[in-house]
Amino acid sequence: MTRESPPYLAGLEDILVGQPEDFVLTIRLNRPKARNALRTQLLKELADVLAQASNDDDVRCVLLTGGEKVFAAGADITEMKDKSPVDVINDPRGHYWAAIRDFAKPIVGAVNGFCLGGGNELAMHCDILFAGNTAQFGQPEINLGIIPGAGGTQRLTQMVGKSKAMRMVLSGEFMSATEAEKAGLIAEVCEPELTIDKALTLAKKIAKKPPLAARLAKESVLNAADTLLSDGIKAERKSFATLFASSDKQEGVSAFMEKRKPTFKGH
């Protein structure tokens, strides 16, 4: 269905949003020069658009996607450089992540290319994921002297199991789309040019279901995993903030920005 007015378009810099079509709203992360790094502005726009979509009866399902080569390269490392633990605790980003987490309508994700760090955490906020066969999933935060800070250690472990999650989080190694499908991180792997079509077809199918049932179905499935998740995420966030006091974090971030190998000292 098409609408006369384009209410989702005003003032957006970092994401592209279409008009609802067959009750599906498509959102595309759009900072290609920074590999779709999730700067605060991007998260804010995403949270704002989802808030609007929550109240829009023409939206029954959301399709979230990124670029052809990068879904998202994680948090914006340049924003992290001078942050203290107190800055992290006071950071509005926590509210934006919460808005994404609490969005009650189903979200289908279509991932192509790199899906790293906060990008992978965002992908894991989707309810169902499709990925192109060249996609790579990773939590490389350890290379910067930090750990995932948007639920990654908890959700990844629930989705792929302890050993594979530990491998990704401790070594920074990536997981291929094929392995991600085997491990349960994604629902289906396909040719990269089909990812969005497949995700959209499923999103439209879901959008034909009764919206209230779909909403409660989502809530119920998420409840299955949530018993201890919230405690885990709170603990993770404290650890994440604490690491912003470490010199290894300064070193990891500086080395990335200076395009050199980091030297970590353990403090």
Q: Which residues bind ligand HXC (CB under 6 A)?
A: 34-35, 37, 70, 73-78, 114, 116-118, 121, 140-141, 144, 148-150
* All residues at 6 or more sequence positions from 259 whose CB lies less than 8 Å from its CB, including other chains: none
**Catalytic residue ranges:** 75, 118, 121, 141
Compute the least distance from the CB of residue 96 to ligand HXC, in Å.
10
Compute the least distance from the CB of residue 262 to ligand HXC, in Å.
11
Q: Which CB, 37 or 206, lies closer to ligand HXC?
A: 37
Q: Which CB, 116 or 180, lies closer to ligand HXC?
A: 116
How many Å apart are CA 94 and CA 47, to the nearest integer?
Answer: 11
Contact of 65 with 25, CB cutoff 8 Å: no
Q: Which CB, 136 or 195, lies closer to ligand HXC?
A: 136
Helix, strand, coil shares of the chain as percentages rounded to 5?
Answer: 50, 15, 35
Q: Which CB, 195 or 206, lies closer to ligand HXC?
A: 195
How many Å apart are CA 3 and CA 242, to the nearest integer?
Answer: 47
**Burial class, 233, CB count within 10 angstroms (exposed 0-12 / middle 13-18 / buried 19+):** buried
Q: Residue number with the shortest CB distance to ligand HXC?
A: 117
Compute the least distance from the CB of residue 112 to ligand HXC, in Å.
13
Compute the least distance from the CB of residue 225 to ligand HXC, in Å.
19
Compute the least distance from the CB of residue 216 to ligand HXC, in Å.
29
CA distances from 69 to 50, 111, 152, 193, 214 (A): 24, 9, 22, 11, 31
Neighbour order of strands in the sheet with 15-17: 15-17, 24-29, 61-65, 107-111, 128-132, 188-190
Closest CA to 125 of 204, 239, 242, 27: 27
Given phi > 0 = left and psi -120 to 50 = alpha, else beta, which region is 15?
A: beta
Q: Which CB, 6 or 92, lies closer to ligand HXC?
A: 92
